[in-house]
Every structure is written in structure tokens, then in C-alpha cells.
Amino acid sequence: MLTETQVRGLLNDLKEPFLHKTLGEVNAVLEISIKEEKNHVSVKIALAKTGTAEQLQLQTQIVNLLKENGAKSVGLRFSELPAEELAKHQVEKAEETDSLLSPGSKTTFIAVASGKGGVGKSTVSVNLAVSLARLGKKVGLVDADIYGFSVPDMMGITQRPVVRGERIFPVERFGVKVISMGFFVEDNAPIIWRGPMLGKMLNSFFNEVEWGELDYLLLDLPPGTGDVALDVHTMLPACKEVIVTTPHPTAAFVAARAGAMALRTEHEILGVIENMAYFESKLTGEKEYVFGKGGGEKLAEELNTDLLGRLPLSQPDWNEDDFAPSVYQEDHKLGAIYTNMAQKIVAILE
């Protein structure tokens, strides 16, 4: 059974991620509570910044360390270091890099939204980003679906971003720079956060990631009109939007809410993409409209925008040597449709 002294000794040697000093040096271990009957250790830690990717990494490190040393379960709370403590240890910051949110930024933000889950929004986000990169554009992709992150797996990304000082360097794949909550969570663990924490994490994706020069930054939004979508609308007043639906009337009806939210916050809708439009038999060429017809056209008409394209049900050609289960090759039928939609988007924006 761990004692309070042992717990403090273990934690004091860990690094505070922003001040580059140990938790002990910055008096960051605020509270330690031990329930002997359950072998449960609860701690409260103060950091220079909360709600960041670095906090998530430290959180995992603390849990693993305490469990390795005998704790059966671990409870963690975080708060921010007091201003006077920060002043004692503040180091000179490296030259500030222009934020994507700064007034001088030339990056165009494109949010990919849907009214409900299961319509293939993340698949569309990934393949639009890859198609824009194939057109020679400098492209970033934020997996902003923080509860349901899936982009790293869809793109076959196995490495993690590099963290240097206070900057996070995104992972690049198929010419697209990618950042996702999935990079900062161990073993596909669930995210149990309230709205304000999600907003802070999203903000760090914009401000603390070393994106470099980008033409377009795509955001794979969570479905619906919840906290994260609201945060994006607040943070990015000039964001453009693409709405994804299936042909089913109900899917189109629900997607109209996401479109209405974009219009109310003065986000320009670039168009509608109808996914799972039909299934085409390889043997006969006959088309079967599995999810009905007309949802995409109806939604585009309702939102006073264009139907950018219709995507049939299909699967990418998998390559075991370069595995990316959701990315369509350029010469694939759907790859060509995505290229065409990317060209339409570029034509609208440029």
C-alpha cells in the first residue's frame, strides 16, 4: 500500500510540461488522498495550462506510475498554478509563431458537418483533405470529433505527434498534416469531459500546433449541433462548411439543422455531399438505391447551395504495405469523384 510520502516522492520527479521543471520544483502536487480499504489514490495537480494535449499525456503518465507502484485505482484533478508561482518559474518563450486564428492568417477553414452520425462524414473529411493535397494544396486536417475520433485509424497513421517545448508537430500522411484527440489517448480510452474542456482542447489544436503554411484546414466536426460545433462557430467566424448526408429523407432532414446553424452564424455553405447514394453491382452495373433517393438534392435546395457530388457505396482498394482503410486511390471510381469535388471547392474559394 502506497503512503502519502511515497506518492509525493513519485510525483515530485515528473516534469511540468510547460515550465520544464519538476512538479516538486513548482509545488504542483496540491493534494494527496489515499483510501486504504480500496487501495485508491486521489491527487490534485496544478499546471501552467489545463485542458491541453500535454495535460492528457501527463495524466496517463501519473496513472501508470502510481499503478505500477501498487495503487489499484487512481483519481486525478487538475487546476492552474497560481500567478505568483508561475512568475517564479516562467521561462522566456520562443519566438511566437503566427496562430492560424491571427488576423493575418491566409488559411481557409472548411468544416465538414452532418446532422447525425453514421453518414460517413469522417470518410468524406479524410478523402477531401487527401484530394486537395493531390491538387497541390497545403492541407491540414483536425479531427474535431473529439468524442468519436477516427481519422488516425482511417488514414492508417500509427505514429504520434512530436511535442517540442510548447509546440505540437502534427503527423503528415498523404500530404495532409493531421491532428486528433486519438493521438493523446491511450488504448482507445473514452473521453469523459464536459464542454469547456473540449473547447480548450480544440483551441490548443489551433494555437499550439505547428501547422506551418496552410491553404486549407479541414475540420471533421462531431455530428449535430453540440458544444464542439458551437465552439468552432465561435472561434472561426469566417469558416466555410460542407454538409454531408445520405439520400434518406430523415438523414437530410436532420442534416438541415447543421446547415441552419451554419447559416445563422454566417458561415458560408460550400455545398452538400450525398454519401451512400446507391450501390452499383460489379456484375450487372445495375444501381440499387439502398437508402432511397433525393435527400442530397432536397437538402441542397433547402440550404440554397449546390450538390457537390454523390458517392456510391464502395470500399477502397487496400494495400497491406501502405494500409489506410478509408482512403481511396486517385484512380479509384470514388477517388475520381472526390477529386472532382475538391476541384469544385477550390473553384468556389479561389
Residues 316-343 have pLDDT tens digits of: 888 777 788 899 999 999 999 999 999 9
Distance CA 201, CA 90 (A): 22
Reported as a pLDDT band with limits 50, 70 and 90, residue 95 is: very low
The enclosing H or E element of 121 equals helix 121-134
Give me the architecture of the 4-89 domain, per CATH. 2-Layer Sandwich (3.30)
What φ, ψ does residue 124 adopt, rounded to 5°?
-65, -45
- The residue ranges of every structural domain in the chain are 4-89, 108-349
pTM across the whole model? 0.70
Average the pLDDT over 290-317 and give the result.
Answer: 89
CATH ID of 108-349, from 3.40.50.300, 3.20.20.70, 3.10.20.30, 1.10.10.60: 3.40.50.300
DSSP string, 227-243: HHHHHHHHH-TT-EEEE
Phi/psi region, residue 285 (left: phi>0; alpha: psi -120 to 50; beta: rest), is left
pLDDT of 310 over the 80 cut: yes
* Greater model confidence, 110 or 263: 110
CB 157 within 8 A of CB 124: no
C-alpha cell at position 23: 512538479
Q: What is the DSSP letter of 107?
A: P
* Residue whose entry in the numeric block shows the C-alpha cell 513519485: 10
E strands along 196-311, which residues?
Answer: 216-220, 240-245, 268-274, 279-280, 287-288, 307-310
Where helices occur in 270-350 by DSSP H, the ranges are 295-302, 333-349
188 Cβ contact partners less than 8 Å away, ≥ 6 residues apart? none
pLDDT score of 165 = 74
* Helices and strands in the chain, H and E counts: 10, 17
- Higher-confidence residue of 55 and 321: namely 55
